[in-house]
Chains A and B, each alone.
Chain A
Amino acid sequence: MNPAIAHDEHHDQPPRGLARWLFTTNHKDIGLLYLIFGLTMFLVGGLLAMLIRVELFEPGLQILKPELYNQLITLHGLVMVFAALMPVTTGLANYLIPLMIGAPDMALPRLNNWGFWLLTPAALLLLAPFGLELMGIGNGPIDTGWTIYAPLSVQSGLGVDFAILAVLLLGASSLLSSINIIVTIFNMRTPGMRLMKMPIFVWSWLMTAFLLVAVFPVLVGGAAMLLADRHFGTSFFSAAGGGDPVLWQHLFWFFGHPEVYILLLPTAGILPHILSTFARKPIYGYRAQVYSYWAIGVLSVIVWAHHMFTSGMPLGAQLYFMYSTMAISIPVAVLFFCWIGTLWRGAITFETPMLFAIGYIVLFGLGGLTGLVLADAVADQQYHNTYFLVAHFHYTLFGGPIMGVIAAAYFYLPKITGRMYNERIGQWHFWLTMIGFNITFMSQFFVGLAGMPRRVPDYALQFADLNMMSSLGAFILGASQLLFVYNIVTTWRGTRDKVTDRVWEGAQGLEFTVSSPPPYHTFTEQPVVA
């Protein structure tokens, strides 16, 4: 007998109160914990960005000292990548993958719980040095940029130690989740769901999980070496002791480049679901997209040093990393082709998830194309560490993954809550986001070309107009996210229209065969798939 059924008869109702959330092993509960945690940290990261853009509104130092400014830009990066985006994509995985493959839960439910509860202390560790500073201990959080380059990070205050410990915890959490996801996908698909028949989001997370397992340990190792250099007398990153500062860069970016694809792939996998639903047309090029995920995954691990073109690289290495980086454009282009192919000759409607999905295609497309420009090893001398680079990665990271998780949030919110969100507010959210985002970051492309370096609290006068424009755009972008929060909270409250199991007219997939909201335990009997 399916053990899940026996279990189910005893525990069909979750416990009440705090104990439920602390001890839950239910994949939907844990998925929600990740999603709410991620959304909260997204707002924290956004607040940090607003402070930065207030300071950069005009030349001169208005509200921030350089010390604090460096801390804010570092935390903005670390929080957005590790505390916001990664938990949100993990939350989507936890909530959706068992539903999509017809499994009753993840393969390792208790491990799943630990994976989440490592996150909260990690986030606190990152931010705790603010509090310690107020008590007279230390000089505040890490201030080295999210890339934590040595020797600056060896020299910096105790904020770096806290960040290293946070990274270790976050790494552990990600690795536990990844293992769980891989095991679940390989072992718990309902009979009839062969690998090449499973929903494409599940494929994208399978690739993401493999990448995480491959590269996070390298970051953890590098962080341990940094800790040793700081406190245990080693010289991994110090030439005086026989080491090399650039070693940190290699270790960091060997993780760091695959990391951006780890951030990207889950939403690249959810996009076809959304496009197909609102075009009322099956996914175009399923196999091609799956093979592209593999190509992107493999390529992502061998191109890391395109982040290091000005570090003193020999000619052969420059040429190799330049050409291999350009090669990634090909599988990514396949994805774009298939996304547009899914829409082509469909019967499209423009609900909010669809708007964000279309925005994703446009913004990520622009960001990705500027990556080709950056890939030129020699031209990179004019782009590297300028605002051109900042604009590139915001177009790709916000334009892609963030727009993608917002699209997924609107897409699945009715399924999760059983109620429809407010469509009009959703549309306002979309348009204000697009307008705010493009004003903010298109200006940054131009100010970078004009010669403005990044990570500076103050700048020369010729950069003033573009900075003011960028800040105004940022204020619009930041404020418009409040519409999103309002919509989620009011939908959750449960006063709006109820939705059906299928929710959307064109929706396919096992998750749309269960009720909205789903029962606490789903698929206690395995569904039959043709």
Chain B
Amino acid sequence: MLKLRQLILLLACAVSSIAYAHNPFEFETPVTPVAEETLHVHDLFLGIIGVLFVLSVMILFYALYKHRKSRGYQPASFTGPHGRKQWLFAILPFLALVFIDFVVMGIPAYHAAVAMANTQEDAQLVIKVTGSQWKWQYEYPDQGLKFYSNLSTPPDELQGRAPKGEHYLLEVDHPLVLPVGEKVRILLASTDVIHAWWVPPFGVKQDAVPGFLRETWVKIDKPGVYRGQCAELCGVGHAYMPIVVEAKNQTDFQQWLAQAKAAQAAEAVASQKSNFTRAELLAMGKKVFDTNCAACHQANGLGIAGVFPPIAAGKPFSATPTLLADLTARGFYENGKIVLGPIKNHLGIVLHGVPGTSMPAFGAQLSDAEIAAVVTYERNSFGNQTGDLVEPTEAKIRRAAP
């Protein structure tokens, strides 16, 4: 027999685990009216189909148990309902199903759809979200703020060389910051293929279709950090472009906005600077490389055989004839091996990409300083020892001539 103390301890454990445990039949905790409505509808629907399923299985199993040859049951020979009672028995379930479908489920679903479609009324803030392969860009058009949001999980964790952090694959360098309690209208666009912006606690998922603007809206109930992922297959980096939203109360949000704009202005000024030291270039370059290039070219610069070229001179590489011909023309490929071509062409590859291959153009996303830094870093790492230092002005000049 348990002593009283042991019993209390046991109960406390049980209660606390229930308090912390999330209901596996439900989504993540909703923080917007749409998400709450959706969760309510989900619970209702799941409950109904659960009852329908259990009922049907019970009837089925009753027959399997009772109406068995081994129990000596003699088979009947009816092929349909006979008599009024049986016809009622047959028709009633279908009337019930029609009622369940179109009234019990259909009416709440209607209201949710109408609410969801109302993206513009009373919107107090407009955000533009642009999906690219493989990152998001967030823009506050009315505030003149714009920045990219990249996965910030370190390559070492991705490659299995370091233990995975708590927010593995769900962390970014620049989260989207939104105010609490305000209706935010979200416009979605894409620069290349279809992506989808999904944040489960918000209950919204909407495709970002290239060439079109889609919209949705959120009104976040409470401050916090909310995470989601891209939800439309968009190529090799599909699993690596998460969404992180920091919801702040009004005061904190205004404060953040002012800071962000100031930082943006400062960075614009800084990228005009032209006399970076070697150390500064290498440090900035490594940061840019790890965030933007390592996903394909790998943190050690060795690339992936047959697909992503190594950035190390002297390493062998083989791929489609188109890619090899292009690299040769630019001076980066010779006799089956990668070589380091002229700086001008190196900048060209990073700024404008390589059309017809998976190498995107980074000119829009990176400043002249960042471009110059990453090229410097590449030409002085992975075994390369060119000693080249590339200044932002060179990137600026190359930017103008694709």
Indicate whether A and B interact. Answer: yes
A372 touches B238 (CB 8 A): no
A135 smallest CB distance to B (angstroms): 11
Q: Does A61 contact B (CB under 8 A)?
A: yes
Interface 1/0 per residue, B98-135 and A, CB below 8 Å: 10011001100110111111000000000000000000
A31 smallest CB distance to B (angstroms): 29
A452 smallest CB distance to B (angstroms): 8
A347 touches B109 (CB 8 A): no
Interface 1/0 per residue, B231-246 and A, CB below 8 Å: 1111111110000000
Residues 94 to 132 of chain A near chain B (Cβ within 8 Å): none
A384 touches B80 (CB 8 A): no
Contacts of B209 on A, CB cut-off 8 Å? 239, 245-246, 311-312
Closest to A462 in B: B170
Q: Does B75 contact A (CB under 8 A)?
A: yes
Cα–Cα distance between A340 and B59 once the two chains are bound (Å): 8
Interface 1/0 per residue, A376-405 and B, CB below 8 Å: 111101101110000000000000000000
Interface 1/0 per residue, B75-92 and A, CB below 8 Å: 111111000000000100
B233 touches A343 (CB 8 A): no
A453 touches B230 (CB 8 A): yes
Q: Does A449 contact B (CB under 8 A)?
A: yes
Q: Does A251 contact B (CB under 8 A)?
A: no
Closest to A138 in B: B320
B110 touches A319 (CB 8 A): yes
Partner of B109, one of A70, A152, A378, A450: A378
Interface 1/0 per residue, A338-370 and B, CB below 8 Å: 001001111111000000001001100110011
Q: Does B166 contact A (CB under 8 A)?
A: yes
Chain B contact-residue range equals: 35 or more
Q: Does A489 contact B (CB under 8 A)?
A: no
Q: Does A288 contact B (CB under 8 A)?
A: yes
Cα–Cα distance between A458 and B204 once the two chains are bound (Å): 23
Cα–Cα distance between A151 and B235 once the two chains are bound (Å): 11
Q: Which of A62, A138, A336, A337 has the most CB of B within 10 A?
A: A337
B49 touches A59 (CB 8 A): no
B235 smallest CB distance to A (angstroms): 6
A376 touches B78 (CB 8 A): no
Q: Does B74 contact A (CB under 8 A)?
A: yes
Q: Does B169 contact A (CB under 8 A)?
A: yes
A133 smallest CB distance to B (angstroms): 7
A365 touches B56 (CB 8 A): yes
Interface 1/0 per residue, B181-210 and A, CB below 8 Å: 000000000001110101010011111011
| Given A245-B194, A378-B112, A457-B239, also A333-B94 (CB < 8 A) | yes
Partner of A310, one of B97, B109, B207, B318: B207
Cα–Cα distance between A66 and B133 once the two chains are bound (Å): 14
A461 touches B164 (CB 8 A): yes
A61 touches B160 (CB 8 A): yes
Contacts of A330 on B, CB cut-off 8 Å? 94, 97-98, 101
Cα–Cα distance between A246 and B160 once the two chains are bound (Å): 38
Contacts of B98 on A, CB cut-off 8 Å? 330
Contacts of B233 on A, CB cut-off 8 Å? 70, 144-145, 149, 152, 455
Cα–Cα distance between A244 and B198 once the two chains are bound (Å): 22
Cα–Cα distance between A379 and B112 once the two chains are bound (Å): 8
A345 touches B76 (CB 8 A): yes
Closest to B199 in A: A451
A456 touches B77 (CB 8 A): no
Cα–Cα distance between A423 and B64 once the two chains are bound (Å): 19
Closest to B304 in A: A65
Q: Does A497 contact B (CB under 8 A)?
A: no
Contacts of A323 on B, CB cut-off 8 Å? 102, 106
Partner of A384, one of B45, B168, B205, B319: B205
B210 smallest CB distance to A (angstroms): 6
Contacts of B238 on A, CB cut-off 8 Å? 66, 70, 455-456
Closest to B204 in A: A381
Cα–Cα distance between A419 and B261 once the two chains are bound (Å): 80
Contacts of B67 on A, CB cut-off 8 Å? 279, 343-348
Cα–Cα distance between A382 and B69 once the two chains are bound (Å): 47
B239 touches A284 (CB 8 A): no
Please choose the segment from B33-41, B279-287, B343-351, B361-369 that sits at the chain A interface, where 4 or more of its residues have CB less than 8 A away: B33-41
| Given A245-B209, A310-B206, A311-B207, also A61-B38 (CB < 8 A) | no
B60 smallest CB distance to A (angstroms): 6
Q: Does A283 contact B (CB under 8 A)?
A: yes
Contacts of A337 on B, CB cut-off 8 Å? 90, 93
Partner of B101, one of A60, A136, A318, A326: A326
Interface 1/0 per residue, B154-174 and A, CB below 8 Å: 000011100010111110000
Partner of B205, one of A370, A382, A446, A460: A382
Closest to B64 in A: A348
Residues 16 to 71 of chain B near chain A (Cβ within 8 Å): 22, 24-28, 34, 37-38, 41-42, 45-46, 49, 52-53, 56-57, 59-60, 63-64, 67-70
Cα–Cα distance between A330 and B93 once the two chains are bound (Å): 10
Contacts of A362 on B, CB cut-off 8 Å? 57, 60
A379 touches B207 (CB 8 A): no
B168 touches A461 (CB 8 A): yes
B105 touches A151 (CB 8 A): no
B110 smallest CB distance to A (angstroms): 7
A346 touches B27 (CB 8 A): no
Contacts of B206 on A, CB cut-off 8 Å? 310, 312, 381
Q: Does B211 contact A (CB under 8 A)?
A: yes
Cα–Cα distance between A321 and B63 once the two chains are bound (Å): 37
Cα–Cα distance between A283 and B68 once the two chains are bound (Å): 17
Cα–Cα distance between A327 and B101 once the two chains are bound (Å): 8
B75 touches A349 (CB 8 A): no
Closest to A62 in B: B160
Q: Does A315 contact B (CB under 8 A)?
A: yes
B112 touches A376 (CB 8 A): yes
| Given A151-B210, A372-B49, also A451-B28 (CB < 8 A) | yes
A238 touches B211 (CB 8 A): yes
Q: Does A189 contact B (CB under 8 A)?
A: no
Cα–Cα distance between A314 and B97 once the two chains are bound (Å): 27
| Given A155-B193, A348-B67, A446-B24, also A382-B38 (CB < 8 A) | yes
Residues 51 to 71 of chain A near chain B (Cβ within 8 Å): 59-62, 65-67, 70
Cα–Cα distance between A65 and B158 once the two chains are bound (Å): 12
B113 touches A369 (CB 8 A): no
Q: Which of B70, B90, B167 has the most CB of A within 10 A?
A: B90
| Given A152-B233, A239-B211, A285-B80, also A137-B320 (CB < 8 A) | yes
Q: Does A435 contact B (CB under 8 A)?
A: no
Contacts of A25 on B, CB cut-off 8 Å? none
Q: Does A291 contact B (CB under 8 A)?
A: no
B79 touches A285 (CB 8 A): yes
Partner of B166, one of A377, A385, A449, A461: A461
B298 smallest CB distance to A (angstroms): 11
9 A-B pairs besides A284-B78, A333-B94, A449-B25 with CB distance below 8 A are: A60-B158, A149-B194, A322-B113, A330-B101, A333-B93, A379-B42, A382-B42, A382-B203, A386-B231
The 6 A-B pairs of least Cβ separation, nearest first, read A239-B211, A456-B239, A369-B49, A378-B112, A347-B69, A345-B76
Question: A-contacting residues of B (Cβ < 8 Å)?
Answer: 22, 24-28, 34, 37-38, 41-42, 45-46, 49, 52-53, 56-57, 59-60, 63-64, 67-70, 73-80, 90, 93-94, 97-98, 101-102, 105-106, 109-110, 112-117, 158-160, 164, 166-170, 192-194, 196, 198, 200, 203-207, 209-212, 214, 228-239, 304, 306-307, 318-320
Supply 17 A–B pairs (Cβ within 8 Å), ascending by A: A59-B168, A61-B159, A239-B209, A282-B77, A310-B207, A323-B102, A334-B94, A346-B63, A362-B57, A373-B49, A378-B115, A381-B205, A382-B42, A384-B231, A451-B229, A453-B239, A459-B239
Question: B-contacting residues of A (Cβ < 8 Å)?
Answer: 59-62, 65-67, 70, 133, 136-139, 144-145, 149, 151-152, 155, 238-240, 244-246, 279-288, 310-312, 314-315, 318-319, 322-323, 326-327, 329-330, 333-334, 336-337, 340, 343-349, 358, 361-362, 365-366, 369-370, 372-373, 376-379, 381-382, 384-386, 446, 449-451, 453, 455-461
